[in-house]
Structure 1
Amino acid sequence: MSNTKSLIKFVLLILFVSINACKEEAKKETAHEEIKKPNILFLFTDDQRGGTIGAMDKYNVQTPNMDQLVENGTSFTNSYILGATTAAVCSPSRAMLMTGRHYFNIEPNVYAQFAFPKDEKGKSDKLTFPEYFKSNGYTTFATGKQHNGEPWIERGFSFVKSAFLGGMTRHFGTKVKDYTPETGWSEGYKDDNKFSSEVFADAAVGFIDSYKKEDPFLMYVAFTAPHDPRTAPQEFHDMYPAENIALPENFMAQHPFEIADDHIRDEVLAPFPRTEAIVQKEISDYYAMITATDVQIGRVLKALKDSGKADNTIIVLAGDNGLALGQHGLLGKQNVYEHSVSVPMVFVGPNIPKNQKNSAFAYLHDIFPTLCGLTGLDIPESIQTEDLTPVIKGEKDQVRESMLYAYNSWPGEDYKPKVNNYGGHRAVRKGDFKLIVSAKHDDYKYQLFNLKNDPWELVNLIEDENYNNIKEELKLELQKLIKESGDKADLSKREFGLFDNQEAYNFKTKK
C-alpha cells in the first residue's frame, strides 16, 4: 500500500514539474513572439499628390528612394483621402489617419482648431493608432508635423523629437519642440540653415541609432514638404528648369465655373488667369521639394538597414492630400478632383508582396486597421474604415466597391474674417466612373467622368444619354454613402444645407 502511495506521489510530482515546465516554456515562447512583432516606420509627406513618385510612371519627378519602396512593396494606385470641411485639408486628413474614422465623426476642435478657444483645441476622446500600438507594447516615436493639437501627441508617443505644431511654416528655421511624458514639452528651437526635411530625418535617424530595446517600435515621421512655401535647397531647384516642365493635360487658365473656396489662400498664390509659365514654375518648385525630401527619406531607410532591423519592419509611405498646381485652373487642394484627393500609399515589409501595384480602392485612413491586420492586433471597435491586409496578401480583390469624397467651406465661418466663400462638393467613385456634385450659392453643377478613358477629368458625360443609367446609379450610391458615413450633407438643399444649422455640427466657436 505504501509503495502504491509513493508511486502516486512520484507520478504527481513528475506531472507538476512537467506542467510548470510547459508553462515556463510557453511564457518564453510568448515573450519571444512579442519580441518578433514587426516594427513600424511611417513616412508621411505633406501635399504630395498621388503619382508623384518616379516609379509610378505618371509625373516626371526624381524619387530614387521612394522608387525603391515601390519596388520592394505593394503600392495602391487608387488611394485617396475622403476630404475635408475646412481649407486646411491637411488637418481633417491627419485626424482621419490617426483615428481610422471619417471626419464627420471626429470632434471639430481637433481638425479645425482655428475655430476654437485655446483650452478646447485638440481635446478628443478618440483612440489614435500611436496610442493603440503603445498600449500593445510598442515604443512610439514622432517627429515632424503634428496638426491636431497636443493631447493626441501626449497620449500616443513615448518620445517626440523636433515636432512642428501647426499647419504650415517656413522650411529653413522651422520652429520645433521635443516631448516626453517625464519631461513634458521643451522650449521651441530652430536651425536656420537646415531644410525642414533634414531636421526631421535627423530626429528619425537619431532614434533608430539609439534604440536598444527589445520592444518593437513605431516611428511616425511626418515631413512638412512639399507643402508651400516651396523652398528646397537650391541644388534641387536646379534639377527642374521651369521652362522644361511639361504642363498637365488638364491645364486651364481658370476653372470653368465658380466653386467653393476658389479664392482661398492656396488659390491666390498665383494671379488669375493662370499662365503656362507660372504653372511651370509652381510644378518645378513642387518637384524640387519632393526630390529634396526623397533624399532625407533615403537617410532614414539607410539608418534602418544599418541597424539590422529593416527585415522586421513594416514601412508605410503616404501623403496627406494632393494638390492641383494648374490642373483645372486650380492651385490648391480644396476640391474633389483626382489631383487633390489622390495620395501615394505604399506598404513594404515582412510577407508583403514586392513590386505590386494594386488598383483596389483605398483610403488614407485605412492605414490604422491595416497596420493592425499586418501585425496581428485586434481592430478596435472605434474604427470606421477598412483593413487592406486581405488585399495586400491577395486574399481579396477589394474591401469596398465605391468611395465617397467630400469637401466644403468651413460651415462656422461667420464668426471669422471672410477667408472662405461657402459652397461644397460631394462625389462618388464606383468602378471606372466618378460623379461630382458641386454646389455654390444657388447653383448646382454635375460632372460625370470615365476615369479609365479620361484620367484627367476633361470630358463631362453628364448630358450624354448613353450614360443615364450610370448617372442614376451613382446618384443613389452617393446618397447611400453619405448616410452610412455620418455626413450631414443634404443634396436636396442649397449648398447641401451645410450652412443652415451650425448647431448640428456641435460647434463651440470662440466669441
Structure 2
Amino acid sequence: MFNKNKFLPFNSLCAFILLITLVGCQNVKKNKQQKPNILFLFTDDQRAGAIGALNVYDVKTPNMDKLVDNGTTFTNAYILGATTAAVCSPSRAMLMTGRHYFNIEPNVYAQFAFPLEERGKSDLLTFPEYFRANGYTTFATGKQHNGKDWVERGFKHVKSAFLGGMTTHFGTKVKDYSAETGWSKPYQQKEKFSSEVFADAAIGFLESYKGENPFLMYVAFTAPHDPRTAPQEFHDQYPVNEIELPKNFMPEHPFNIADDRIRDEVLAPFPRTEAIIKKEISDYYAMITATDAQIGRVLKALKDSGQEKNTIIVLAGDNGLAVGQHGLLGKQNVYEHSVGIPLVICGPDVPKNVKTEALAYLHDVFPTLCGLTGLEIPKSVQTIDLTPVIKGEKQEVRNSMMYAYNSWPGDMLVKRRKHNPGGGHRAVRKGDYKLIISAKHDVFTYQLFDVKKDPWELINLIDDEDYADLKEDLKIELKKLIKQAGDTADLDKKEFGLFDDLEAFRFN
C-alpha cells in the first residue's frame, strides 16, 4: 500500500533536488580548481649548476634559489643532443613532444634547410596541445623555435612571442596571436630587456586570468643566449677581474671535433685567453642574474594571484654552454657543460629542498607533467615519467642514458663552408662513468670519464687497462641505446655513417 510518509512533499523534494544540484556544481567547480596549474619557466643556454643554490658556479640567482629550496632538483638532468648547430631547436622539439629528435620531422628542428612552406609542419602531439585538449587554458610568451603551427595548436593566448633562434635583447621583435585575430604585426620595445618583456606578458596573463579551468603557462626566455647584453646594473655585479676561470679552461680543444669553428665558437679568437674568457663568463652570469630578477617578478605575480599553492612550477634550460671550458664557447658537443641543464620542479605534493641524482632528460617533462596532474601519458611519448622519483617511490627511472651530436648533413653539400662540417659525437652515461666517442673525418677519439670524481672531465681513463672491460661494456650499452632511440648512427663506420647518403639532405 502506498505510504506518503515515506516520501518528501513535492516542495521539499524540489528543494532537495536543488540542493543536490548546487552541491554538485560546487564540487565540479572545486574539482576544476583543484587540478593544478602549470608554470613552465624556460631559459636559453643556461647550463646545469648555473643556479647559486647549487654551489657549482658563483652566480647570483636568489629567485631560482627559492625554487630549489621549495622543490625537487634533478642534478643529473640533460638534453639528448642535436643534429644541427642550432641545438636549442631540436631540444625544444623534444621537450614539446616527449620524443627523441631522431623521431621528429627535421623540418621542425632544422627549418633553415627547408622551403618556407614546409617549415614547422608536423602532426606530432605537443604537451601544450594535449593539456589544452584536457581542459587547460594555455598561454605562451617568449621564444618559439619550431614554427608557428605548434604555437597555434597549443596555445589559446600568445603574447610577445619571438619566432626564431636568437636576436637582440633590446628591441626584440615579437608578435601576439589568437585564433580570432591571427598573428599581429611585429612590434618591439627598445627600452626593455627581453626577459622583462616576456615577464610583463606572463604577469599580464596572471593578473587578468579569471577562468575556472586550470592554466598552463609557457614562459620561454631568450636569455642568457648571446648577445650577452643585460642591463648594465647586472654587468656591474660581476667585475671581470674577480671572475674565476673554470678548472677545465683550455686555450683550444685538444683535438678536432664536429663544428669546432661554428658561429658560437668564433665569438672569441683562438687561442682563448684568460682575459677574454673571464669577460665572457662575466657577461654570461649577468644575463642569468638579470633573467632571475624577471623570474622573481613572475613568481610574485603568481603568489598575488592566489594560485601559487595550486601550481606546478618547472624551471629548466634548453641546453648548456661551454663558455671557455675545454677550449670551447658553444654547445655543439656532449661534455657535461653543454648537455647538462637545470631542472627544478615545485608544486603540490612535490618534496621541498630535495636534490636527486636520478638521470633525467629535459623531454621527460611531458610525461612527468602528466604524472603529476593525473593525465594519461599519450602513446606518442617516448620518454619517462619522473613522478615516481619525485614522490620517493623510486631512486631512478633509468640506469643509463645516451647523448648525441653531429653536424647537419646538409652542410656537407655546401661548398666553402668555413666551419669545416662533418663529424659527430655519441656518448653514454651509466653509473658514475661516461664514454664519449668522437668521429671527425677519418679519426675516432675515445674519452672515458668518472663524472662523479671528475665532473670537469679532465682525466681521460680510456688508456688505463683497469678500465678496458668497462669501456667495452659502455660501448655495448651505447649501441643498445642508439637502437632503442631510433638513431641511425653506426659506431663502426666512418663518422658513424651519418653522411653516407648526403643526397637525402639536398632540398630543392
> Any residues of structure 2 matched to 1:135-284 within 5 Å, and which?
135-284=133-282
User: How many Å apart are 1:502 and its aligned residue?
Assistant: 4.2
Q: Does 1:364 align with 2:359?
A: no
Are 1:489 and 2:486 an aligned pair? Answer: no
CA distance in 1, matches of 2:55, 2:447: 27
**Residues 427 and 478 in structure 2, CA contact (< 8 A), matched pair in contact too:** yes
Q: Which residue of 2 aligns with 1:43?
A: 41
- Counterpart pick for 2:68 among 70, 74, 80: 70
Equivalent in the alignment of 1:294: 292
Aligned residue pairs: how many? 504
Identify the residue that residue 422 of structure 1 maps to in structure 2: 422
What one-letter code is carried by the residue in structure 1 that aligns with 2:456?
W
Which residue matches 1:500?
500
- Counterpart of 1:328? 326
Q: Provide closer, same or farther for how the CA distance between residues 400 and 419 of structure 1 changes in structure 2, counting only shifts above 3 A.
A: farther
| Aligned mates of 2:424, 2:5 — CA distance in 1 | 81
Match of 2:51 among 44, 50, 53: 53
Report the counterpart of residue 117 of structure 2 in structure 1: 119
The runs of 5 or more residues in structure 1 that have no matched partner are: none
In 2, Cα distance between the equivalents of 1:10 and 1:453?
A: 77
Deviation at 1:144, TM superposition (A): 0.3
Distance in structure 2 (CA, Å) of the matches to 1:20 and 1:498? 68
Q: Which amino acid aligns with 2:389?
A: V
Match of 2:445 in 1: 445
- 1:204-229, CA deviations, whole angstroms, 9 ceiling, x for partnerless residues? 01110110111110000000000000
- Report the alpha carbon displacement of residue 31 of structure 1 after superposing the two structures with TM: 4.3
Q: How far is 1:35 from its partner?
A: 2.4
User: Partner of 1:80 in structure 2?
Assistant: 78
Gaps of 5+ in 2: none
CA deviation after TM superposition for structure 1 residue 22, in Å:
7.2
- TM-score normalised by length of structure 2: 0.96
Task: For residue 145 of structure 1, give the secondary structure of its aligned residue in structure 2.
Answer: strand
1: CA distance between counterparts of 2:244 and 2:467? 33
Structure 1: distance between partners of 2:499 and 2:24: 60
Contact 2:413–2:502 (CA under 8 A) maintained in structure 1? no
Give 1:20 deviation, angstroms.
Answer: 11
C-alpha displacement of 1:18: 9.3
Which whole-Å CA distance do the structure 2 matches of 1:352 and 1:334 have between them?
Answer: 34
The root-mean-square deviation of aligned C-alpha atoms, in Å, is 2.0
Residues 190-211 of structure 1 deviation map (CA, whole Å, 9 limit, x = unaligned): 0111100000001001110110
Amino acid at match of 1:482: I
Shift of 1:413: 1.8
Question: How much has 1:243 moved relative to structure 2?
Answer: 1.2
User: Following TM superposition, by how much is the alpha carbon of 1:470 offset from its aligned partner in structure 2, in angstroms?
Assistant: 1.1
Q: Tell me if structure 1 keeps the 8 A contact 2:160–2:201.
A: yes
- Distance change in 2, residues 1:171/1:15 (3 Å): same
> Could you say which residue in structure 2 is the equivalent of 1:459?
459
Residue 129 of structure 2 corresponds to: 131
Residues 36 and 404 of structure 1: is their aligned pair in 2 closer, same or farther, counting only changes over 3 Å?
Answer: same
Letter in 2 for 1:204: A
Mapped to 1, the partners of 2:154 and 2:412 lie a distance apart of 34
Q: CA deviation at 1:30?
A: 4.2
SS of alignment partner, residue 243 of structure 1:
helix
Q: Which amino acid aligns with 1:312?
A: N
Distance 2:380 2:362 in 1: 16
Shift of 1:24: 7.9
- Distance in 2 separating the partners of 1:99 and 1:409: 23
